[in-house]
Amino acid sequence: MSVPEDSAATPDEAPEPMTLGVPRETKPGERLVAATPATAAQLVTLGYAVVVESGAGAEATYADAAYEEAGATVADAAAVWSADIVCAVNAPTPDELDLMRSGATLISMMSAPSSPEYLADLASRGITGLALDAVPRISRAQSMDVLSTMSNVAGYRAVIEAAENYGGMFTGQVTAAGKTRPANVFVIGGGVAGLAAIGAAASLGAQVRAFDVRPEAGEQIESMGATFVQAEQAQQEASSDGYAKELTDEQQRLTEAMYAEETAKADVVVTTALVRGRAVRTITAAMVEAMKPGSVIVDLAASGGGNCELTVPGERIVTENGVVIIGYTDLTSRMPQHTSQLFGTNIVNVVKLLTPGKDGAVDLNLEDEVVRGMTVAHDGAVMWPPPAVKVSAAAPAHEAEPAAPAVDLEEKARLDALQSQRKVRGRLAWAAVAAVLVIVAVTLSPPSFASYFTIFALAVVVGFYVINGVSHSLHTPLMAQTNAISGIILVGALLQLGSTDVAVLVMSFIAAAIASINIFGGFLVSYRMLGMFRKEA
């Protein structure tokens, strides 16, 4: 039946919202989905009619009914691929692109630098391509950076894989049957993946050591609970784009020597050195041969060729000397539920940027450096590579600043040794002066002072070594012990407050005040810590 002309939509009526399709991933072994029910609901609030392919979230434990409850429509593949916008995890195949219409927008990972033919194909089809793995590395775009998301998950999963293949426990155990030492984990790289691996390994109780060629990464590594391996001559500053510069021959030699030493001691090695999709060789076959039987290497750069010389991408192998080398390239897909949620959130943030009016209509603002950086094809033209981002990852050098003179390493080492010797001599001189003063004080004081002073000195020494030997993570629980000691001090101070000696009275008052502060403060901190573990009603 025809529609009367007077019932047609008027110019004042709002246009129908654009459709946004979420297809089922067809890449073998892929379990991720580009939108979860939670992120699909967010896309709906932006004004889009979200269409999800039936079974798209099944591998990530998201049922079709959950998408429908979130406001999305579940349909077949043809309806999804014919949407105005298609959001996918991996780049669609040519057969899938055939189902898309000209003028549609594709949002997915595309490996733009290594896929010029694919970008040309998108342009020839009239499809606007937005590459999620080409988001500029600037602060404003961090919430859209899927590479950081995937690296974070991969680093965490790498430790899970290592723990499964390692023949011992990561944490040390003290039992009636004896004790076991904690596992020694060595992480190469202090980027997102490396820091995630460090955090996971440390939380399991392992002793973690890590190295990065960027010296500024040391603070981040130590903040995650690892020991930063110091190899000053093998480190250098990052280049202007935020990546590490190429190592010189001397730096390469020193780095390899350090790697050989650390891997020989390690039970687990996690490598993450991947620069612009290309793996950097860090572990040679000779280093693997020197490792202990039962050791595990997890190569996160397997997709780029592998950091380990013996890595086989996509496979787990065992060397002749019993070292397990894991080269899986699907670590993120092994944790599909949370990875899909994080990946979907990245897409939501991209779509928010493209929909400033929240009206279900894309506004492709190519003047925005984030949008331009992601756009690889538009209006029949290839848009890759994008112009340089104005905001540099590293601060540019001042033009007026003269170049630093070349440093003579031998001379620098000699000067450092002299300075160290001066410090040692200074400490010895002050120690000698202090010893003389103590001897004079003991000689001229009453006999009772010697016994009191001896107890005091021993208490200082014992206390220093006891507290210094306790891990930082146990300092707060240690307050329970210090509260008991402070209680003894408080009782002693109260007993001396009635003294007629002014000096004793003043010291007793100060001791009582300080002990009270320590006691009440310790209880307050302990109370707040217990509150962190209390279940909410």
Q: List the structure tokens of 307.
A: 């950091």
Mind listing the pLDDT tens digit for each residue in 257-272? 999 999 999 999 999 9
CA 444 vs CA 437, 438, 439, 440, 453: distances in Å = 11, 10, 9, 6, 13
21 and 47 together in one domain? yes
520 and 476 together in one domain? yes
Of 330, 346, 363, the position where a domain reaches its end is 330
Of 330, 363, 391, the position where a domain reaches its end is 330
169 and 47 together in one domain? no
243 annotated active-site: yes
* Residues β-bridged to residue 308: 283
Whether residue 7 lies inside any domain: the answer is no
162 and 305 together in one domain? yes
321 and 294 together in one domain? yes
Q: Domain total for the chain? A: 3
Of 330, 345, 361, the position where a domain reaches its end is 330
SS3 111: coil
Neighbours of 162 (CB within 10 A): 27
Contact 174, 183 (CB under 8 A): no
Neighbours of 172 (CB within 10 A): 13
300 and 356 together in one domain? no
Question: Among residues 142, 173, 233, 419, which one is catalytic?
Answer: 142
Question: 324-326 and 316-318 as β-strands: parallel, antiparallel, unpaired?
Answer: antiparallel
DSSP, res 129? E
158 and 259 together in one domain? yes
- Provide CB contacts within 8 A for 215, sequence distance 6+: 232, 235, 236, 237
198 and 309 together in one domain? yes
DSSP, res 270? E
Q: List the structure tokens of 280.
A: 């950097």
142 annotated active-site: yes
145 annotated active-site: yes
Mind listing the pLDDT tens digit for each residue in 479-498? 555 666 677 777 887 888 87
- Cis peptide, bond prior to residue 385, ω within 30 of zero: yes
Whether residue 366 lies inside any domain: the answer is yes
Token pair 């980027």 is found at 191
- Give the separation between CA 263 and CA 283, rounded to whole angstroms: 8
Question: Among residues 42, 148, 207, 220, which one is catalytic?
Answer: 148
Q: List the structure tokens of 353.
A: 């940027």
Alpha helix ranges (H) inside 88-167:
94-98, 116-125, 146-165
306 and 162 together in one domain? yes
76 annotated active-site: no
Q: List the structure tokens of 116.
A: 């010029």
Q: List the structure tokens of 59.
A: 């591998």
- Give the separation between CA 251 and CA 34, rounded to whole angstroms: 42
Q: What's the confidence (pLDDT) of residue 471?
A: 56
Whether residue 9 lies inside any domain: the answer is no
349 and 313 together in one domain? no
Nearest residue to 353 via CA among 143, 106, 115:
143
- Give the separation between CA 494 and CA 499, rounded to whole angstroms: 10
137 annotated active-site: yes
Residues in the chain: 537
Whether residue 404 lies inside any domain: the answer is no
By residue range, what is the domain housing residue 353? 15-134+336-382
Q: Is the dihedral of CA 47, 52, 58, 63 positive or negative?
A: positive
- Give the separation between CA 370 and CA 167, rounded to whole angstroms: 46
Q: What's the confidence (pLDDT) of residue 386?
A: 93
213 and 86 together in one domain? no
158 and 241 together in one domain? yes
Question: 375-378 and 128-131 as β-strands: parallel, antiparallel, unpaired?
Answer: antiparallel
Question: Among residues 111, 121, 240, 243, which one is catalytic?
Answer: 243
Whether residue 387 lies inside any domain: the answer is no
- Give the separation between CA 509 and CA 519, rounded to whole angstroms: 15
Question: Among residues 111, 133, 137, 251, which one is catalytic?
Answer: 137
φ, ψ for residue 185, nearest 5 deg: -115, 130
Whether residue 508 lies inside any domain: the answer is yes
Whether residue 143 lies inside any domain: the answer is no
Task: Provide the CATH number for the domain around residue 369.
Answer: 3.40.50.720
- Give the separation between CA 193 and CA 270, rounded to whole angstroms: 10
Contact 32, 89 (CB under 8 A): yes
Whether residue 537 lies inside any domain: the answer is no
Ranges under pLDDT 50 in the chain: 1-9, 238-243, 392-404, 406-407, 537
- Give the separation between CA 213 and CA 41, rounded to whole angstroms: 42
